[in-house]
Amino acid sequence: MRILFLTHRLPYAPNRGDRIRAYYLLRQMSRFASVSLFSLIHDDVEAAEVTRTPFAARIATARVHRLANLARGAISLPSNRPLTHALLDGAGAAHAIDTLTRPAPDVVVAFCSGMARFALAPPLVELPFVLDMVDVDSAKWRAMGATAGPRGWIYRREARTLAAFEASAARRAALTLVVNERECETLRALAPGAPVTVLPNGIDLDAYRPPDPPVAAPEVIFCGVMSYAPNEAAVQWFAAEVWPLVRRAVSGARFTVVGSEPTAAVRRLAAIDPSIRVVGAVPAVQPYLWASAVSVAPLQLARGVQNKALEAIAAGVPVVATTTVVDGLPTAVRPACLTADTAESFARGVQSLLVLAPEERRARAELATIANLGWDARLAPLEDLLRQAIERRTARS
């Protein structure tokens, strides 16, 4: 089998949520097919990783120029074109994709709705197409549309225009994949009759398995890309509303924010409160998780599966999270989580875990059943799903 895989970020290194799933999809597909990879490249750091990217037989890229794309997006506001498509564009993308179509792939796999538009345009439009939507992005923009002012109008416009495209793409795809049942229900409501299947996220169990006994220090951690607005908002809310309550109850507690691209507002948290540490990008998050007592995921807006929660649990660290985060997690890991949505209940959850003995906290994390949540097991159906999609498209033609 020959596969053309389209991704909006280079799927290497697997150091953020969207790259993680794409990386393991690429690895899995390379085991039963020859995979050609097209990726958009956003900066010099990402560009430097192209030659190190494993599993792809061939790679072509196109550079995203953010300012030019923002200008094109602004011009397109009176139209029905999603801003996602304007922002996720690269100079020479069509030519780069064309270089990977000889010989023609048996199937095109587009990662997220932002890349589906390439699969639905020449030279790929006549080929069998599978969309890994991951989660339904338009639902996220719809939730963010509650924001007042011009920004809220832009979010609502994006929700409307992207939902229309997602519905069309799901109907035209031979198969659309999503990460959990919540996203499956959302997409089926958006595109009734479209073939949709859940292909869930996994965990790299060996990479996160704790090598040492649990720590005694009252260390609380949040992991995530900090330029992502829901992550930034979550950390700011936790620091302002929850953390003072925790500090009053637990002497010596510290809160560490780990993740690339922390905004100025997030960095200011550490300048204001010495018990808060913002470390930015790190080579690996595991040492920080293993040195923590509790992981928090206080997101008010969360689609799909929050890898940060899965990774913490695999690292032996219990999680306090909002309902919207917990509802997206596999049922098997939820016993390792405390659910809280108000500042007071969130603080009580964190405190209740911090006052436990280290072994009791580890035991709470180990209530999760994760043995069957490795990436190999979760992605095992992928080969059959792609072959069935090819057969379905061939029969339709």
pLDDT > 70 fraction of the chain, expressed in percent and rounded: 99
**Number of neighbouring beta carbons within 10 Å of residue 323:** 12
The helix (H) or strand (E) run that includes residue 35 is strand 34-41
Ramachandran assignment for 149, one of left (phi > 0), alpha (psi -120 to 50 degrees), beta (any other)? left
What's the residue count for the chain?
397
**Which residues is 254 bridged to in the sheet?**
219
Average pLDDT estimate for 85-97: 93
Ramachandran assignment for 190, one of left (phi > 0), alpha (psi -120 to 50 degrees), beta (any other)? alpha
CA angle 62, 63, 66 (to 5 degrees): 140
* Cα–Cα dist 269/128, whole Å: 49
Q: What is the pLDDT of residues 319-353, one digit of tens each?
A: 999 999 999 999 999 999 999 999 999 999 999 99
How distant, in Å, are the alpha carbons of 1, 134, 273, 392 from that of 384? 12, 18, 53, 12
The helix (H) or strand (E) run that includes residue 44 is helix 44-48
pLDDT > 90 fraction of the chain, expressed in percent and rounded: 93
> What one-letter code names the amino acid at 307?
N
Q: What is the pLDDT of residues 166-199, one digit of tens each?
A: 999 999 999 999 999 999 999 999 999 999 999 9
Q: Is pLDDT of 281 > 70?
A: yes
> What one-letter code names the amino acid at 117?
R
* Cα–Cα dist 13/20, whole Å: 8
**pLDDT value for 395:** 67
**pLDDT value for 18:** 86
Q: Is pLDDT of 47 > 70?
A: yes
Average pLDDT estimate for 121-131: 94
**pLDDT value for 17:** 83
Instruction: Identify the residue with better confidence: 392 or 180.
Output: 180
* Cα–Cα dist 107/319, whole Å: 39
Q: What would the two tokens of residue 3 be? A: 């596969």
pTM of the complete model: 0.93
Confidence of residue 394 (pLDDT cuts 50, 70, 90): low
Ramachandran assignment for 252, one of left (phi > 0), alpha (psi -120 to 50 degrees), beta (any other)? left
Starting at the edge strand that comes first in sequence, how are the strands of the sheet with 107-111 ordered? 58-63, 34-41, 2-7, 107-111, 129-134, 175-178, 196-198
How distant, in Å, are the alpha carbons of 121, 232, 270 from that of 117? 6, 29, 41
Q: Is pLDDT of 397 > 90?
A: no
**pLDDT value for 148:** 79
* Cα–Cα dist 320/329, whole Å: 13
**pLDDT value for 396:** 66
Q: What is the pLDDT of residues 242-268, one digit of tens each?
A: 999 999 999 999 999 999 999 999 999
Q: Is pLDDT of 393 > 80?
A: no
Average pLDDT over the chain reads 95
**pLDDT value for 392:** 79
> What one-letter code names the amino acid at 152?
G
